[in-house]
Structure 1
């Protein structure tokens, strides 16, 4: 009896081992049917197999068989050259077993990340959402949503699957991501793949490789001050490890970022943290891709000026190469940290990408951005970028939200007027002005726009912006 039992279990073990060999080749979830791959690029495709197992990857766009062998760590990767936008194609991955990926499109792939305003879906409630859902039939737009997970170390895979954009799938994907992708798709007439990896209420620290934070004493000290919260992680790398690392090095056209609300308690640190995140992602991907982000909307944060300070930290991040920022002070809701106008946020991000990444020359993609100031007697003249077509006052006869200060750095409300493509600012109680700031309030909704209808950004040129009350 014992002998028979041992023989039975030995046979079962041999069956399991042989079955494991037969099914050896596997892929991370980011590679699947219905996916979009970046066009005109050398992409990396990777997976797992038995050590020394020969793997052949064949794509239908060129029928070229690319061969490799799994390493002693049971890992493999190959490089594929993708054509111009098009499809559908198939990709066959063959070892002891075969995996056939179908309905693969070639186009533009964008990563969407951040906290709740990026995560926010049409189904959660957005302006005009009900009217948009039935129109969301776009077979060439594809979605991949990374579920919320955290990890202490870098993970190899994520759950999730690529799905086609339909009225049934669109309501459950990032609304900002969808409206961005739709605009890109309609303007470029090519497939768009959107990967949403976001988590409401998370500080930027959790989205950075913790090794990158460890390189800066300032970032380490700031991260140590973050207090645990019930709705998500706060420690460096926790979301990066589980929600970003497994995607690397899936080839991207660029990244979109909508985050900052969870970092308003330390805006001075954010001026260093956000550029560090951008640099970290680019290094990990070995790709200096465009990084476009949303400046925070007005909202009644608890500490005076902390929202304005964070917006200024975001504005200063524009010195990082190949970045862009959209301002949404005119489409926010100072009573709700989740403004429901997600359509215009997505469209403004798309216009930014169409102009800066895709070379569309006729698109004005930014409102006025502070360039410089010049003291002229008891006045200060402020010059702006993105004011070529001129400056305008919207919804009023007088400009609002300008302040001026003397050497004591005590800012007072100032009058301001348009002078060509500049603004002249002055206040009777400040005879010798040395500093100017704009929209320096958590709930500021200023009325300075360019003629393209885009609002000016908060600014505070001083070195001590994070301490300015």
Structure 2
């Protein structure tokens, strides 16, 4: 027995002492590296081992860099700066072992994240001949780009602890498999590639139905009272979840035994046991679960920028969203050690067209305004989608317009291509109240005008007398400002525009960029105050 134990110990020691030389999963065939910077590349080897990384370029040039693994066998190497369009293979060698990455290109590397509209695949589109032709046209365009558009889709994984490796692989889309790709990241990459003439890669880390809290590292929740409150609330929910889960599973087993046919289960669905709070459920706002499982492992790769499409799952807590979003951006920049650009998508229009002056609590008007808090940070931008969605579908199947708007932000602000003004939507700047009217000043107001196809200005609402009773209001454009008035209100105290799930947007600038929905009374906070408080004793709904 003793000899057997010794033999087993020596075998285990030999396995540990001869760790497989390999790259982290992100560094695999088809990799896109960022042009003009010292890219980091990382992997695993024996502890305290010297690692040689050879770069073999397509023009037959060669270069070698070195790294040394730490006591846990992890190593990181810095590659020399390389110009865009460089093609190469990378080979790591250490103590008689080797690992290789083929078909590597240098270009522009981005990160795309968020919930379902960022994750949404082409295969969920309409089953029509028009849609099939649309996909073929996309593939024809990709064919001309000769494999210079590549996507790395990370496996969806939640974790309490940070995971060093994300799971996935680099892929190049074609007509046979395009339906398995996330639409918006691919269209964004294609648009950049066409306009830059460079390879473009996008790492897609997204998960449908996920609240923003799941994407924020825990240490970032000290940002504000709102974020601290969110963390405390979650801690109370998570405490004892495993014990509660055991009870739930036992109760559900009994329920299934009693309701042992599909008919009985349908009849007694209301009595089916429910699990109150599962931190691994994608819809629960458990902090950091997706940052740990799907963002943390991307490092030491640093993206050129981030595109973000999320917010629908936070519509019941819009008053918290602005601080949470800022905390996320700041924490990601701190983690990646880069103040990279961050561009988000303003929520799309959805539902019946706006029929009331102001929609009540949980209106997407509040979420859109809260999203805008990100713009208080440097190097941020917004691509509005409130005019290019699908009123009948939470997931608009045609995402070309928003991909172009995100792409134009990047092209004009980062790459210096085109007029920077053309990528910016008009948005609220300030309000001056003059008795029976309000003078609204607008940012990015170049050539402010009635939107094409509209006969008159609409979508404006006003209230007075300190009451939350809104009325549709008149509005006109004068000298680049919007003058709002209402015969039903004596003294206007607040104005809102497009405050609805499917807003009535009627104003644009000369670049055909729509005026974004807004409020002058910080509706994303006011509408979500505790209804039992004295400050919120009035109705939030229009007459």
Return the TM-score normalized by structure 1: 0.92
* Segment of structure 1 superposing worse, 184-193 or 341-350: 341-350
Contact 1:170 1:178 in 2 (8 A): no
Q: Which residue of 1 aligns with 2:497?
A: 438
Structure 1 residues 279 and 260: alpha-carbon distance in aligned structure 2, compared to 1, 3 A threshold: same
Q: Does 1:152 align with 2:170?
A: no
Structure 1 residues 362 and 215: alpha-carbon distance in aligned structure 2, compared to 1, 3 A threshold: closer
1:395 maps to which of 423, 438, 453: 453
Q: Secondary structure in 2 aligned to 1:60?
A: strand
Q: Which residue of 1 aligns with 2:256?
A: none
Q: Once the two structures are superposed, what CA deviation does each residue of 1:197-253 show, in whole Å capped at 9, x if it has no partner?
A: 000000000001112125544213235268747554530011111101011221211
Q: 1:346 deviation in Å?
A: 1.2
* Segment of structure 1 superposing worse, 300-309 or 258-267: 300-309
Structure 1 residues 165 and 423: alpha-carbon distance in aligned structure 2, compared to 1, 3 A threshold: same
2:300 maps to which of 249, 265, 272: 249
Structure 1: distance between partners of 2:369 and 2:99: 49
Q: Which residue of 2 aligns with 1:40?
A: 36
Structure 2: distance between partners of 1:465 and 1:270: 9
Q: How does 1:285-434 map to 2 (within 5 A)?
A: 285-300=336-351, 304=361, 306-362=363-419, 364-410=422-468, 411-434=470-493
Q: 1:110 deviation in Å?
A: 0.7
Q: 1:323 deviation in Å?
A: 0.6
Q: 1:261 deviation in Å?
A: 0.3
Q: Once the two structures are superposed, what CA deviation does each residue of 1:261-283 show, in whole Å capped at 9, x if it has no partner?
A: 00000111001110110001000
Q: Secondary structure in 2 aligned to 1:396?
A: coil
1:205 maps to which of 204, 213, 219: 213
Structure 1 residues 334 and 24: alpha-carbon distance in aligned structure 2, compared to 1, 3 A threshold: same
Contact 1:140 1:165 in 2 (8 A): no
1:29 maps to which of 25, 38, 41: 25
Give 1 or 2 for the bigger CA radius of gyration. 2
1:459 maps to which of 518, 529, 538: 518
Q: Secondary structure in 1 aligned to 2:54?
A: strand
Contact 1:438 1:460 in 2 (8 A): yes
- After superposition, the CA RMSD in angstroms is 2.6
Q: 1:463 deviation in Å?
A: 4.1
Contact 1:304 1:441 in 2 (8 A): no
* Segment of structure 1 superposing worse, 347-356 or 386-395: 386-395
Q: Which has the higher helix share?
A: 2
Contact 1:180 1:349 in 2 (8 A): yes
Q: Once the two structures are superposed, what CA deviation does each residue of 1:405-441 show, in whole Å capped at 9, x if it has no partner?
A: 3351533210111224221110012232232211112
Count of residue pairs brought into register by the alignment: 465
Q: How does 1:233-272 map to 2 (within 5 A)?
A: 233-272=284-323
Contact 1:409 1:435 in 2 (8 A): no
* Segment of structure 1 superposing worse, 130-139 or 33-42: 130-139
Q: Secondary structure in 2 aligned to 1:86?
A: coil
Q: Which residue of 1 aligns with 2:248?
A: none
Contact 1:327 1:456 in 2 (8 A): no
Structure 1: distance between partners of 2:73 and 2:49: 8
Contact 2:173 2:181 in 1 (8 A): no
* Segment of structure 1 superposing worse, 28-37 or 18-27: 18-27
Structure 1 residues 399 and 408: alpha-carbon distance in aligned structure 2, compared to 1, 3 A threshold: same
* Segment of structure 1 superposing worse, 426-435 or 195-204: 426-435
Q: Which residue of 2 aligns with 1:92?
A: 91
Q: Secondary structure in 1 aligned to 2:188?
A: helix
Q: 1:311 deviation in Å?
A: 0.5
Structure 1, unpaired ranges of 5+: none
* Segment of structure 1 superposing worse, 263-272 or 335-344: 335-344
Q: Secondary structure in 2 aligned to 1:383?
A: strand
Structure 2: distance between partners of 1:464 and 1:161: 43
Structure 1 residues 73 and 16: alpha-carbon distance in aligned structure 2, compared to 1, 3 A threshold: closer
Structure 2: distance between partners of 1:405 and 1:380: 11
Q: Which residue of 2 aligns with 1:113?
A: 113
Q: Which residue of 2 aligns with 1:122?
A: 122
Structure 1: distance between partners of 2:15 and 2:50: 17
Structure 2, unpaired ranges of 5+: 238-275, 353-358, 528-539
* Segment of structure 1 superposing worse, 28-37 or 79-88: 79-88
* Segment of structure 1 superposing worse, 177-186 or 16-25: 16-25
Contact 2:451 2:512 in 1 (8 A): no
Q: Which residue of 2 aligns with 1:71?
A: 70
Structure 1 residues 334 and 214: alpha-carbon distance in aligned structure 2, compared to 1, 3 A threshold: same
Q: 1:348 deviation in Å?
A: 1.4
Structure 1 residues 425 and 166: alpha-carbon distance in aligned structure 2, compared to 1, 3 A threshold: same
Contact 1:37 1:251 in 2 (8 A): no
* Segment of structure 1 superposing worse, 49-58 or 214-223: 214-223
1:180 maps to which of 171, 177, 188: 188
* Segment of structure 1 superposing worse, 248-257 or 78-87: 78-87
